Structure 1
Amino acid sequence: MFKHILLPTDGSDISLRGVQLGIELARSCGARIYALHVIPPFHTFTYVAEMLAATEATYMEGAVERAEHYVADVRDLAAKAGVASDGGHVVSDVPSDWIVHEAQRHQCDLIVMASHGWSGITKLLLGSETQRVLQTSPVPVLVCR
């Protein structure tokens, strides 16, 4: 049925539930997975260029390290389940756009994602990024609660 499943992750517990469901589905279908973490870019209000550069560099170093950790965790879970995997990260203010873009770029035929993630009040509702993926994805989206 499905051959290649995109699993977005933000490192949250709910995101991990989506990842686990996606891996189980991939195992049952004989599919492979692609793990994706979208790093929010650094934003600040300052006029001191040296401070901005040092702070942004520190932020990006930590963000990339976390992204690599999140993707490695997904790939480890996939390996334990006997599911082929790959993964990566991108930097964007609009995660939903990149989730859809990466699904198309990697020729994924399903996106499995959590209903919400780390984003404040939207934890109580269907997450805005999830909603945007549902609205714009040309491939099916399975939403996990």
Structure 2
Amino acid sequence: MFSSYASIQYLPDDQRFNGENFVSFKEIILPTGRLRGLDLYWEGRVTNPHNTPSPYIAPTNPAAVNDPNLTQLEYDLRESVAYLTLWSNIKNPDGLGIPRGLSSHALWDYLRMEFLQVATIARQRKEDNL
């Protein structure tokens, strides 16, 4: 289970985010990420244990996919998977002006803030042209 969690989920090319299809991308990527708890990272519901002062207690078992209480190693690995799952499913992120080096939560917020309105307007125009 741990190794499958560490793999990046790639969407088919026509489902990847292209700068105009955020609504449909969101409808596909959220359930895809939810299967492995990635949505918790995108929505900022998992706390970095490094930022939480508490005594270290060695875990006896790996944390469940949706467990918000992780070791630093588990958090770092899962945060990387969450980030790369988003980043790898964006067509030409540099061309779209999407900044690199964000957390997965900051990347998701950026996409929502920058592209949700654009996608909504584009969809409305297509519906109006029908």
Question: What is the TM-score with the length of structure 2 in the denominator?
Answer: 0.33
> Per residue, is there more strand in 1 or in 2?
1
Q: Which has the higher contact order (CA 8 A, sep 6+)?
A: 2
Larger radius of gyration: 2
